[in-house]
Each structure stands twice: as C-alpha cells, then as structure tokens.
Amino acid sequence: MKQFLSINDVTDLRALLEKAKQIKLNPNANRSLGKNKSIGLIFLNPSLRTRLSAQRAALNLGMDVVLLDVNSGGWKLEFGDSVIMNGDSAEHVKEAAGVLGRYFDVLAIRSFASLKDRTKDYSEEVLSAFATYSGKPIINMESATGHPLQAFADLITINEHKVQERPKVVLSWAPHPKALPQAVANSFVRWMRASEVELVVTHPAGYELADEVIGSVPVVYEQQEAFADADFIYAKNWSSYTNYGKILTTDPSWMITQEKMNLTNQAKFMHCLPVRRNVIVEDGVLDGESSIVLHQAENRIISMQTVLHQILKESL
C-alpha cells in the first residue's frame, strides 16, 4: 500500500481483512517493523478516538509518533494558488507539507469539510495538497468527504459480530443540532458496497448522498420499513449534499429507539462516536446489549495498525 486516502487504495480487501484479524490476535507481533520510522499525526480538527488509536497503532509497530494540532500549535495554513497572503494565514501548505515530509516517513491528516463550497470539499483540496507537497505516504484520518479508517474498523466489527453470511446492514440518518459532513456516511457506503452485505440506506428526503457514492444501493425513505429484518443498524447524521451543508430537518422521530430496534432481526447498534445521547439514539439502545459502539472504537486501533503495517511493508 502506497497511501490510504480512500478504499481505492485497497487492492485486495479480503487480504486486508485477514491481516487485520492476525493483528488483532497478536498486536505486538511486529514491534520491530516500524523501528527508526516516524509518523506525524496532523490534526486540523478535534478528535478523541482517531488521535489516540493512531498513536496506539504506531506505537504497537515500534514507530516514533509526533502529533500536531495545527489550530492550537501551528500557523494558520493557506491552500489557495497565487494568493496574496496578507490575511490571517501565515504559512502556505506548500512549505508546511514540504517541511513535514522532511521530518516524517509517513503523514496522517485530519481535515474536515468546510460545508460551504461543495466543489472545493469534494476535490479534497487539503488531503491532495499534503500528498502532493510532502512527497510521503498520506493516511486519511477523516477528510472532507471520507473517513476510511472508520469504515475499515466498522467492517472488521461487522465481520466479528455477524451471524448471517450476508447480513442486512442499514445506514440510518438520525437528527443532530449541528451541520455535519457526509464523510462517515460516504465511506461506510463505499466499504459496504465492496463487502458481502445487503446494504440499505434510510434518510429523509433531501439527504441523498452523491450519486457516485450511493450507486445502486436501495434508499428507503420510511425508516421503520428499512429496519425490518436488519442485522446491523448504523446511525449517523449528515448534512444535505444537494442543498450543500444545510440542515433540512432535526425531526426527533428519526432518533433510534428500542421500539424501532424491536423491528429488526435482533440487530446490533453501531455508531462511529462521538454520539449525542437522546438525540441520535436513546440511552436504552446505547447502553443495551445490542450496542457494539465500543467494539467499533477498539477496532480503530486495528484498522490503523493494519494500514500502517501495509505501508511500512510495501512502501518504506
């Protein structure tokens, strides 16, 4: 693996899942693989799971890890071409990424969508700039349009908990008071489409994902109808793609409740976290036996360690 920007960088998903299984069985088996190799974890947005699971994963492989919160410890970055930099931004990404590329063997970047300019966000301007100007393998720790480390961890978790060979997986939109990116939903759909699952997406009208993301996945606008016979319910909010970045509704009737979970095939409840209790999902579901959100979070170490393992093996 040369980089990990999206599922497109995975040539053999089955083999990657097998590697993840081995790593989970013995996470300390490759402590010398990353000896004298370093990773810079660069955050342009907040994080709990990603920042700590990425550190844990790199340490498990014996790498040196350095973390930078750009907004609190770095210079404000400029990304535009030919910009007269007489405003807030003190440093251009060309120099910043170039410097980081000289300090580290691998760079991992978190940079959320602006939710203001869809064309810019979907061009992945920030991730592409770091890839271009650092000259080093880049790992996507959630970009404007994708969160592949989360989706990989979600797939590992589904494989660990599935009872059916080809489980029914429902991605359900749920309400949220703030406008959130489509990144998690986009990656979840892309990774499920590449997997042995029956995927159904349910959301209110106006929350359709990009055509190239959803492809031929069935969209059911009636949430309770979608839940019938589901083996996994994955809840997530996202803002509108068509009316870009807008909240069209906060209808509480879309919250995940035990009553709705009772319509399923004893489905497991999933969410990437952080989650707003009694907004996205009611306490009883999150605290109940069907919830596997902590398993997902635990597998964030495994997804990152597997990706890093492959990059160390194949590209460094």
Cβ–Cβ < 8 Å for 232, 166: no
Cβ–Cβ < 8 Å for 152, 303: yes
x/- site string to ligand CP, residues 50 to 79, per CB under 6 A?
A: x-----------------------------
The encoded tokens of residue 177 equal 């008071």
The residue with its CB nearest to ligand CP is 50
CB of 294 to ligand CP, least distance (A): 12
**SS3 of 112, please?**
coil
Residue among 235 and 272 whose Cβ is closer to ligand CP: 272
Residue count at the site for ligand CP (CB under 6 A)?
9
- How many other β-carbons are positioned within 10 Å of the β-carbon of residue 108? 28
CB of 181 to ligand CP, least distance (A): 11
Cβ–Cβ < 8 Å for 55, 67: yes
> Which one of residues 21, 24, 38, 47 is an interface residue with ligand CP (CB under 6 A)?
47
Cβ–Cβ < 8 Å for 254, 204: yes
Binding piece for ligand CP, criterion CB under 6 A, among 5-13, 46-54, 162-170, 277-285 = 46-54
Question: Which of 269, 272, 264, 209 has its CA nearest to residue 236?
Answer: 272
Residue among 30 and 143 whose Cβ is closer to ligand CP: 143
> Which one of residues 78, 121, 125, 142 is an interface residue with ligand CP (CB under 6 A)?
142
Which residues, 218 to 257, sit near ligand CP by CB under 6 A? none
CB of 53 to ligand CP, least distance (A): 8
Strands 64-69 and 219-220: unpaired
Does residue number 156 form part of the binding site for ligand CP (CB under 6 A)? Answer: no
Which residues, 271 to 310, sit near ligand CP by CB under 6 A? 272-274
Q: Is 237 exposed, middle or buried (0-12, 13-18, 19+ CB in 10 A)?
A: buried
* Look-up of token digits 């997406």: 201
Q: Under the rule (CB under 6 A), what is the footprint of ligand CP?
A: 47-50, 142, 150, 272-274
